[in-house]
């Protein structure tokens, strides 16, 4: 069971109950795919492009908005036991809406995908090498398939 703390800081997001449903779907599918049943906590911050751009510049040295950032509370490798707190996932409304439109996919599908993606980063998965990217994307595809969401990389 993952306890989810939701904060809506900025942006024209759906109401908190809808965001909680999207998050729960994403987390349940990803954890089921990974066969993980551990307790922990994470926070989701729903914000806008302006704020995520500042975070991206400060933490990654990239002065641009991005769709999602993950900030692990602890260093965790895939398969490690969960710490009490996984960390924070930050999502930017304008970028997500824009990408969903360009990719002709429903906003909620893209949002759920990015929450799964952010969670995998908190669990130690990465996509810095081709091999790591293939592993992470395969987990994402299978988790989303559990929710009847088409392959985001197809």
* Residue 153 in domain: no
pLDDT category at 27 given cuts 50, 70, 90 is very high
* Residue 152 in domain: no
* Residue 154 in domain: no
* Residue 88 in domain: yes
Residue 13 belongs to domain spanning:
2-145
Q: What angle do CA 59, 151, 116 make, to 5 degrees?
A: 40
Contact call for residues 46 and 13 (beta carbons, < 8 A): yes
* Residue 89 in domain: yes
- Whole-angstrom distance, CA of residue 126 vs CA of residue 133: 6
Domain CATH for 9 = 3.40.390.30
pLDDT in tens, 91-131: 999 999 999 999 999 999 999 999 999 999 999 999 989 99
* Residue 151 in domain: no
Domains: count for the chain: 1
* Residue 71 in domain: yes
pLDDT in tens, 5-18: 999 999 899 999 99
Mean pLDDT value across residues 137-143? 97
pLDDT at 135: 95
- Whole-angstrom distance, CA of residue 118 vs CA of residue 124: 10
pLDDT in tens, 34-90: 999 889 999 999 999 999 999 999 999 999 999 999 999 999 999 999 999 999 999
* Residue 99 in domain: yes
Mean pLDDT value across residues 18-42? 95
Sheet holding 68-72, edge to edge: 2-8, 40-47, 87-92, 68-72
61, exposed or middle or buried, with CB in 10 Å at 0-12, 13-18, 19+?
Answer: exposed
Whole-model pTM: value is 0.96
């Amino acid at each position: 069971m993952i306890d989810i703390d939701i904060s809506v800081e900025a942006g024209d997001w759906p109401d908190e109950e809808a965001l909680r449903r999207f998050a729960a779907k994403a987390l349940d599918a990803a954890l089921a795919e990974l066969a993980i049943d551990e307790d922990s906590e994470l926070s989701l911050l729903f914000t806008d492009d302006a704020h995520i751009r500042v975070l991206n510049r400060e933490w990654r040295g990239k002065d641009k908005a991005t769709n999602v950032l993950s900030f692990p509370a602890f260093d965790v490798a895939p398969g490690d036991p969960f710490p009490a707190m996984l960390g924070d996932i930050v999502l930017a409304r304008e970028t997500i809406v824009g990408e969903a439109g360009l990719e002709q996919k429903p906003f909620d599908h893209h949002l759920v995908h990015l929450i799964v993606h952010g969670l995998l980063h908190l669990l130690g998965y990465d996509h810095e090498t081709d091999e790591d990217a293939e592993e992470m994307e395969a987990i994402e595809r299978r988790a989303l398939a559990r929710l009847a969401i088409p392959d985001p990389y197809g």
